[in-house]
Structure 1
Amino acid sequence: MTKPLLIPGLPRSLARDGWWLDAPVAGPPDAPKGEARSTRGPHWAGLASLVALADLLFWHHAPGLSLALFALAILGVAAAGSGRLSARPVVLLALAAAPVVEHLQALSLAFLALGLAVALVWLRRPEAGMADIMAVTAAWLRRLPGHWLAPLAPRAGVLAQIARPSSAGQSARKALRDWAFPLAGSLVFLGLLMQANPVLARGLAIDLDVWALAARLLFWAGVALLLAPFLASDLPEPLQLSPVALPRAARLGLNPRSVLRALVLFNALIALQSVTDLSILVFGVALPEGMSLAEYAHRGAYPLLATALLAGAFALAARPFLQEHRAIRPLLLVWLAQNMVLCGAAMLRLEHYIEAFGLTYLRLYALIWMGLVAIGLGLVAVQVLRGRSAAWLLTRSSALGLGTLYLCAFVNFAQIIAAQNLARPAPDTGYICALGPMAHGALLDAMRANPGLRIETRPCALWFPPDAPGWREWGFRSWRVARYSAAMETPERAE
């Protein structure tokens, strides 16, 4: 039991009146270390400014450069609301917005959205590591649809929060009572005066399109609901991914003996296939009677790619048995090397098929995918040789895939496909015209090299360069193609 504090010589009346000195100080409970408790909603002034900016950038305008500018504005408003600003999130968002500045497409839009999400999380947790930032971003994206729908719920909606008693609500009701009668009476007198004064009526006449106004108000409301979760400062806990053990039925009965025997048989089969492909595609061995090289290439390109993918999956499944037998590791490395050769054979087959039938988006993407599979098998081989973890392989494979997609966002594939197909003796004009104005430069080059080239399909979007857009719709690729087309002397178009 604590003893009362006694000060000798203190008057009794003052000691009786000084009870408040011993009272506990009320204050907010301490938050756990490392946990930021914040229940603040979005910064309303910032949200209103973003809605006004969205109206300026997107209302009756096609998106383009405006999307990159709007994403940077969202990050700026979020930084102003949180009171912190770091250069690293800004640099990350600028890199994510670069594909949109190059050319607006689904791939560049996905990079912009993902970059904005990571930048917002990084802004609010600048001290966290990259792994934690990605985990929090995954959790934030997971809850984002629920936050979009939350304002529409009856209990948590905006109207319910306005109706909740508070000092701001009481002030608003008081102002409404004070101004309701004066404003209503002024409107009545204004209506009577406009009937009596034609000059005043003409000056105050408003040509109001109710449906256009309603559509614009709905646009503002939709933008506000869409942006509110981006400006809220609270963040969820990181998404935890726990390893899942495969049941026995999903292990396909693998054991050290079955893995060893499978590697011997699989290597023998792949070696037979590789020898056959190399003898036909490289050394020119005759094909079976009645089969052309194009047919041979078409029959094998995609099945060989599927075989390489299955080979990578089998290598990952066989990895836990590397220490069970000394022959498993070298056989597994030989297996991976042979499947890398198999990817090269599939690319050779596809190249022969393209020479026979022309280049398309699907065939070009397949070539890129085959190269990625071959590099991925090489990463698995490095993992086996150096004893790296599955996280090491997953990180590098993800970086390889995202890096390839990011670089592809800056490549004008329409130009490449059109240039390759227009150099053929009998190009598929229907498919070439469907490539659109981004391939106009390839048409000009082909017509300059071959003045007799004619494209008879009408209408053909390849005839005309991209339109000169406004600054909101501006894209570097369309500007580049239009500038190149204007710089060249346009040959006479087909009649």
Structure 2
Amino acid sequence: MRYSFLIKAMVAVALVTAFDRLFPSDMAGAVVGAFGGLWLVGLVAVRSDVRRDHRACIALVAAALFVTSLIDEPGLLGWTMFWCAISLAALLPRTSCFDDAWRWAVRLALHGVSSGVQPIHDLRRALRSPRAQRPSVRATLAVLAFPLVGAGLFLALFAAANPVIASALAGIRLPSLWHILVWLIVGCAVWPSLRPSAVVLRVAARLPDPEPALPGTSLPSVLISLALFNALFAVQNLLDVAFLWSGGSLPAGMTQTEYVHRGAYPLIVTALIAGVMALAMLRPGSASERHPWARRMVALWVAQNLVLVASSVWRTIDYVQTSMLTEWRIAALAWMALVATGLATICWRIVKGRSARWLVNWNAAAALLVLTPCTFLDLGAIAATWNVRHQAPAAVDLCYLNGVSDGALLALIELERRPMDGATRDRVHFVRQLVLGRLDARQSVWQTWTPRGARRLARAKAALGPAFHPIWPVDGDSGRACDGSRYQSASVTQP
């Protein structure tokens, strides 16, 4: 198309302008999803190849799905998933097929990096023209000098004669350096989706299959390693069966809490390393891959790793029951489920002789199935509700609920209705009012308004009834700590 570059440049400028109008200060509220929707519309409008490619259309539907999550309540995960989907839609028409998730992860990474280079490269190409057709700087100035000087002269005279024009000129404010920098960043971010770099596609296409390789993985070394690894993992798993699963008595000087809490995350790291090593030991075409005992011992080792992951899950659940549930612990449990899925697919690959591409794609699909619902869920609200319903009022960590903020409002209202001592009730009431005031303040401004916040505020109003009196708190003026307790003034002893 003759004017394709100009049209794409105009769309990029329109998106930058929309960003400037939607986000005068911070990126917050349903307008984050609105900007994502505008970006999606701009991509579809200027890229006919995206509209014709059925694979790109699937990515567009996914991007639209994540736009709805951003409209409801924006978050970093939702924005990341949206960016991946819209980038896939931009790149897919330039490829012949979807090869594997490994190469596409590299393409997306390079696509993001190209945002700092691609606009400059495209601008230089657009300005490049045959020398015979390229006007000199002197000729350009000669053409523009008379109209610009004449227009400036008449504008100055009109401003002197007309106070309306003078007032309008006086009200013009040049953008700050910070605003110009933000515009450039946003423009560079959206431009690669309108004009993807061909280098990104070429580099990813030349990548080797994701087969991990380790030195010293000869057949004798693999057999000895597997025998030692299986023995070590069997000791760890038997100890877990004896002390964790069965609740046996621990050696003197060691508590059950110490044994349970110490190994949740290190054991997951152990399982991940073991999975990579198992893949390296049975590389396709290697002697160990064809050896029956090597295959059996690797399968046994992977099975032991699954027991290890189950022990990590048990430890995390026990930790939650003895302390509290948080967003990060929910994420940790989801991550453990993905690790278990990865180990199971490694075992299936060994048994069925599947390729590395198959393994990567299946694990990427599992991650997508876990992450997509998380963009719509409020993990902070889930954690806050669990803590309130499973803990005594005095044991609830009000500082954590205060940090969760809007997501903890309904849980705090539920907590406030439970019987408790007067001091605890005073702290709960203060934190609830603090969170309610923040939400009400956020919902009163259109840039930070969200549908989820509106629903939450409506439910709070219905639950509180006449007691619904939002107070917009002033930070640092309450004389209370994050859990609602009053600061104790330090007594001064006279000498």
Give the TM-score range, shorter chain. Answer: 0.7 to 0.9
- In the TM superposition, residue 361 of structure 1 has moved relative to its aligned partner by 3.5
- In the TM superposition, residue 211 of structure 1 has moved relative to its aligned partner by 5.2
2: CA distance, partners of 1:337 / 1:391: 22
Query: For residue 145 of structure 1, what is the amino acid of its counterpart?
Result: G
Quote the RMSD (CA, aligned, Å): 4.1
Q: Secondary structure at the match of 1:327?
A: helix
Greater Rg, structure 1 or structure 2?
1
Q: Which runs of 4+ in 1 moved over 6 A?
A: 36-39, 157-161, 167-175, 244-247, 457-460, 490-495
Matched, 1:68 2:43: no
- Alignment map for 1:72-471 (pairs within 5 Å): 72-83=37-48, 85-86=51-52, 87-122=57-92, 124-125=93-94, 128-131=96-99, 134=104, 137=108, 139-148=110-119, 156=124, 166=134, 176=144, 179-180=147-148, 182-194=150-162, 201=163, 205-206=167-168, 208=170, 213-214=175-176, 218=180, 220=183, 223-232=186-195, 235-236=198-199, 237-238=201-202, 239-243=204-208, 251-320=214-283, 321-422=287-388, 423-425=390-392, 426-450=395-419, 454=425, 456=427, 461-462=434-435, 464=437, 466=439, 467-468=442-443, 470-471=445-446
- In the TM superposition, residue 401 of structure 1 has moved relative to its aligned partner by 2.3
Stretches of structure 1 that go unaligned for 5 or more consecutive residues are: 1-35, 195-200
- Aligned in 2, Cα 1:144/1:335: closer, same or farther, shift over 3 Å? same
2: CA distance, partners of 1:56 / 1:42: 21
- Aligned in 2, Cα 1:290/1:206: closer, same or farther, shift over 3 Å? same
- Aligned in 2, Cα 1:255/1:48: closer, same or farther, shift over 3 Å? closer
**In structure 2, what is the equivalent of residue 489 of structure 1?**
464
2: CA distance, partners of 1:407 / 1:443: 25
- In the TM superposition, residue 177 of structure 1 has moved relative to its aligned partner by 5.2
With structure 1 as the length reference, what TM-score do the two structures score?
0.75
Q: Is the 8 A contact 1:437 1:464 kept in 2?
A: no
- In the TM superposition, residue 343 of structure 1 has moved relative to its aligned partner by 1.0
Please list the CA deviations of residues 136-178 of structure 1 after superposition, one character each: whole Å capped at 9, or x if unmatched. 65553343221255589xxx499999x9965899998687456
Q: Is the 8 A contact 1:350 1:367 kept in 2?
A: yes
- In the TM superposition, residue 300 of structure 1 has moved relative to its aligned partner by 2.3
- In the TM superposition, residue 94 of structure 1 has moved relative to its aligned partner by 0.5
- In the TM superposition, residue 315 of structure 1 has moved relative to its aligned partner by 1.4
Q: How many percent of aligned residue pairs carry the same amino acid?
A: 26
Q: Is the 8 A contact 2:90 2:196 kept in 1?
A: no
Q: Secondary structure at the match of 2:99?
A: helix
1: CA distance, partners of 2:115 / 2:347: 39
2: CA distance, partners of 1:484 / 1:265: 58
- Aligned in 2, Cα 1:215/1:310: closer, same or farther, shift over 3 Å? closer
- Larger fraction in helix: 2
Query: For residue 359 of structure 1, what is the amino acid of its counterpart?
Result: L
Aligned residues: 446
2: CA distance, partners of 1:419 / 1:245: 42
With structure 2 as the length reference, what TM-score do the two structures score?
0.75
Stretches of structure 2 that go unaligned for 5 or more consecutive residues are: 470-483, 486-495
